Amino acid sequence: MIRFHITKKSKKSNARLGLLKTPHGAIETPALIPVATQAVVKALTTEEVVQTGTQALIANTFHLHLKPGEKIVKRHGGLHRFMRWQRPLMTDSAGYQVFSLGFGMDHKVGKILKKRSENKVSHPSAQPQNVKITETGVHFRSPVDGSPLFIGPKESIRIQESLGADIIFAFDECTPPTASHAYTEKSLERTHRWAEQCLEYKKTKQALFGIVQGGRFKDLRVESAKMVAGLPFDGFGIGGEFGGDKKRMMHMIRWVIDELPEDKPRHLLGIGYLEDIPKVIKSGVDTFDCIVPTHFARHGAAFTSVGQLDMRKKIFLNDTKPLDPRCACEVCQTYSRGYITHLLRAKEITPLRLLTSHNLFFFNTFVARIREGIRQGII
């Protein structure tokens, strides 16, 4: 059960301020939803995540189904209790990951690819037949142990119910950026049937968001948005894989938003970079998940008021300033650039946390300022 109140609408753009109330507290929107893929924000404790000003997290249904399995999470009292996170939680539908097993291997895109190589799992590479789509769902092989698995709308809802997040998503096919109009159309029809089935299957009071797909095609995006908007979802996810084509993504968001009802929350699944955030918010998106602050941190990048800094560079070793002298986060109150650079170059674990924590604080502050801008009527 969620309730969504729009508290202010921008006169300069489609941006809106809102309050998304969930059983675990409210989210001030627009809001960044950092990723807790495997029920943890990589490198941080939940206490630290709270200190970064993070309002809600999104966990990964696919990964948690594989490890540790939703039954174990349920036995721990659900995801909130398992990971000791008292604030709002979302889980995605697993669709993106399941399908990226197929097209990710063809097109070298998708988060799952990296995950697989990290886990050193051998598998027949670039074989789209690894993923077999039927009317009831997708057959695929576990990237953990190669065993045959199946997830469809029924399974996705069942898993997400066991995990127990406040907001869950309908199972969808996220088509590859290269998919033809014909394939995308066929896929979309199936995704729409799955959307209806998800609404039917859901037994809990969790909020269920429908996902708009349709690839890069305006007619299909509009059709999808209209269709999904017509179903009794609690909110809407905007899905899609654009392989880094941000211009195309922004077009797509505009086509879709125009068709979605104003009074329900809109979540953009997997936004890109810091510079995309203002545009996305201005186009009328309320929440969005983003791996950039956390993922980049683990590769040594600090987001600062003077831009993105590669803290692995030797030049910072003598720098006694904080990561960002204008930042109010705990890391910037405590440690110097020089120390963090030393730790990165020495292959320590601690700097990954320090950068993750700082970057999340930086992104959350960035979004909070945009909210303030909307409040003041300047955005």
* Catalytic site positions: 92, 289
Beta-strand pair 132-134/137-141: antiparallel
As given in the structure block, the two tokens for residue 217 are: 């095609």
Q: Which of 334, 330, 377, 335 is nearest to 53 (CA)?
A: 330
- Residue 286 CB, shortest distance to its own copies, in Å, is 29
**Is 172 one of the annotated binding-site residues?**
yes
One of 219, 262, 318, 321 touching its own copies (CB under 8 A): 318
As given in the structure block, the two tokens for residue 68 are: 């540790």
* 336 forms part of the interface with its own copies (CB under 8 A): yes
What is the rounded distance in angstroms from the CA atom of residue 268 to the CA atom of residue 209? 11
- Residue 329 CB, shortest distance to its own copies, in Å, is 13
Residues 148-177 binding its own copies (CB under 8 A) are: none
- Residue 77 CB, shortest distance to its own copies, in Å, is 8
Which alpha helices (H) appear in the chain, and where do they start and end? Answer: 46-51, 61-66, 70-75, 79-83, 95-107, 111-118, 153-163, 181-201, 218-229, 246-257, 276-282, 292-297, 330-334, 337-345, 350-375
* 42 forms part of the interface with its own copies (CB under 8 A): yes
**Is 210 one of the annotated binding-site residues?**
no
One of 3, 5, 12, 75 touching its own copies (CB under 8 A): 75
Residues 265-294 binding its own copies (CB under 8 A) are: none
**Is 160 one of the annotated binding-site residues?**
no
Q: Which range binds its own copies by CB under 8 A, 186-194, 215-223, 283-291, 330-338? A: 330-338
* 86 forms part of the interface with its own copies (CB under 8 A): no
Q: Which of 239, 170, 173 is nearest to 208 (CA)?
A: 170
* 312 forms part of the interface with its own copies (CB under 8 A): no
Minimum CB distance to its own copies smaller for 16 or for 63: 63
Q: Which of 132, 199, 205 is nearest to 170 (CA)?
A: 199
DSSP per residue over 220-253, as a string? HHHHHHHHHHTS--SEEEE----TT-HHHHHHHH
Contact 221, 255 (CB under 8 A): yes
Q: Which of 12, 11, 1, 22 is nearest to 287 (CA)?
A: 22
* 352 forms part of the interface with its own copies (CB under 8 A): yes
* 43 forms part of the interface with its own copies (CB under 8 A): yes
* 82 forms part of the interface with its own copies (CB under 8 A): yes
**Is 358 one of the annotated binding-site residues?**
yes
**Is 245 one of the annotated binding-site residues?**
no
Instruction: Enumerate residues 6+ apart whose C-beta is below 8 A from 90.
Output: 33, 56, 57, 58, 59, 165, 166, 167, 168, 169, 267, 289
**Is 327 one of the annotated binding-site residues?**
yes
- Residue 186 CB, shortest distance to its own copies, in Å, is 35
Angle, CA 151 vertex, CA 237 and CA 197 arms, to 5°? 55
- Residue 204 CB, shortest distance to its own copies, in Å, is 22
One of 147, 263, 346, 376 touching its own copies (CB under 8 A): 346
One of 7, 86, 117, 119 touching its own copies (CB under 8 A): 119
Distances (CA, A) of 93 to 158, 287, 339: 10, 16, 41
In the annotated binding site, the residues are 172, 213, 240, 327, 329, 332, 358
In the annotated binding site for Zn(2+), the residues are 327, 329, 332, 358
What residue ranges bind its own copies (CB under 8 A)? 38-40, 42-47, 63, 67-68, 72, 75-77, 82-84, 118-119, 317-318, 320, 334-336, 338-339, 341-343, 345-350, 352-354
